[in-house]
Amino acid sequence: MKKYIIIALLVLGGGMMTAVAQKSHGSIAYVDLQYILHNLPQYESANDQLTLISKRWQKEIDALQEELRVMTTNYQTEQIFLSEAMRKQREEEIIAKENEVLELKRKYFGPEGELYKKREALLKPIQDDIYTAIQELAEEFRYEIVKDRSADPSLLYMSNKLDISDQVLRRLGAK
């Protein structure tokens, strides 16, 4: 009889240990980073600043491109009346203007350009705050994995109970 009680306790104890292990380990939560970002006023403000800067720089480039277009059109029209030296000078001016346009595009919009640096300066602190909030929630609620729902194309279904996006927003002080 004692033998059966010990076996029953071991079986029950093992089952309870498994349930506890499943509850405290392997928990998964999801966030929707796009949803979080678009509900943070500081992100919208930073995004608006980037849009204004980008438009201003694009206007500057467009003005230079218009100058280049006019220079090219005038050259093509007047080319037959110009001496060899004047043609060469105008061609060099056109090439210099083309290079100026390309350099300005690279300076503002290139991979290491001003827009990239400005975006990094404005958005990195916001992203860091989001990741800190996610990490704090993960530690507090013992989530082993937190995935970005908006970046997971293979996600076919997710229970709303697993979405902690609103908790992240509250942690960040957003309404």
- The tens digit of pLDDT for each residue in 38-96 reads 999 999 999 999 999 999 999 999 999 999 999 999 999 999 999 999 999 999 999 99
pLDDT at residue 9 is higher than 80: no
Structure tokens given for 125: 């602190």
Question: What pLDDT, on a 0 to 100 scale, did the predictor assign at position 11?
Answer: 47
Sign of the CA dihedral running 124, 39, 137, 156 = negative
pLDDT tens string 145-169: 999 988 877 777 888 888 999 999 9
The most distant pair of C-alpha atoms in the chain lies apart, rounded to whole Å, by 117
Apex 44 CA angle, 168 and 161, nearest 5: 25
Question: What pLDDT, on a 0 to 100 scale, did the predictor assign at position 26?
Answer: 58
The domain locations on the chain are 26-171
